[in-house]
Amino acid sequence: MPFDELAKSPSQTFSYLETNHYVLCVETNNKEAAKKEATDICWLLNFALGQRVEWIGAEAKENHDWESELWGNFRGEEKPSVNAPLRNHADGVICRYIERAYPIYLLNEDWWQATLHWCSIALENNLVETSGLIYSMLLDRLTRFVLTTHDFPPQIDPDLKTKLQLNDFIRGLDKLMNSIKIQWTEERTRKIIGTLLQWNTEPDYKIKIKTVFEKLSLPIPEQSLLLNRHTLAHNGLLQSGTDPLQYYRDITKCVTMLMLKMLNYEGKYFIPDIGDCTL
């Protein structure tokens, strides 16, 4: 399903959630389905609490002939990551987050599970460059997901595909490239044509990021934040002159804000060294 198709009403799954001990009430007579739901929700808690969370026990309690409730004890690590968006906020914020996020998660379970898994890896890593690389990948992944149903106009020419497939054009380009380097092959010419078609289909990375953040009514990231994407991916290093801690704060806020928005969250969240933010 496309990202735009949000659930119409919040889940009524939870009885209550507390800081260190989470009690999950699932209205179903299928124990395996209840266990799966508890496991799925742990993925969402991993992100919100900035730590690994898993349920360690379950008990069925019969209240009605048609209903059973599964109660799970959730266990998290003793030393959570400093990046815990919702850990610092009480008043039932975690419960409200799950009630809004879980229906979104269910629309694309496999995609969200993989996304939250990568987020957990970034949280567990202490190197700015490694976490930055993962967050940069996540920003790209999230952006592409939001843009699944977005049609960009042709970036070069509406008839480019037809023109590039003309035999005269292909032969002319092949001849031109052969005049530069005698070892040139037709396969390389075809790759150039493929690249041109891709450029015509979608804009560059910066415009895609801008489109997504405008679409979701979020502040557009600074261009300087996006410049490190290439150097991290190919060299494993930040650009010369980049403050590592400032970059980590900025990319963390950018991805956290986008993920919370995509999960239909509204309210306060926390970013290390920045403080409280609001969606």
Q: Given pLDDT bands bounded at 50, 70 and 90, which one contains residue 25? A: low
- β-pairing, 26-27 vs 67-76, is antiparallel
Q: Report the percent of the chain where pLDDT is more than 70.
A: 78
Residues in the chain, how many? 279
pLDDT of residue 237: 78
- The pLDDT tens digits for 167-181 are 777 778 878 887 876
pLDDT above 60: residue 18: no
Residue 237, SS3? coil
Q: In sequence order, what E strands does the chain have?
A: 16-17, 22-23, 26-27, 53-64, 67-76, 268-271, 275-278
Rounded mean pLDDT, 239-246? 82
- Residues 144-164 have pLDDT tens digits of 999 888 777 777 878 878 877
Interatomic CA distance for residues 177 and 192, integer angstroms: 11
Residue labelled with tokens 């993920």: 259
Query: pTM, whole model, 2 decimals?
Result: 0.76
The pLDDT tens digits of the residues spanning 80-132 come to: 556 788 875 567 788 889 889 999 999 999 999 999 999 888 877 777 888 88
Q: Please check the confidence at residue 11 and state whether its pLDDT lies above 60.
A: no
Environment class of 149 (CB within 10 Å of its CB; exposed 0-12, middle 13-18, buried 19+): exposed
Report the candidate in 148, 136, 131 with the shortest Cα–Cα distance to residue 262: 148
The arithmetic mean of pLDDT across residues 224-230, rounded, is 81
**CA–CA separation, 6 and 227 (whole Å):** 32
Cα separation, 279 vs 255, in Å, equals 13
User: DSSP states of 111-157 as a string?
Assistant: HHHHHHHHHHHHHH---HHHHHHHHHHHHHHHHHHHGGG--PPPSS-
Residue keyed to tokens 């977005």: 150
Q: What are phi and psi of 167, to 5 degrees?
A: -60, -35
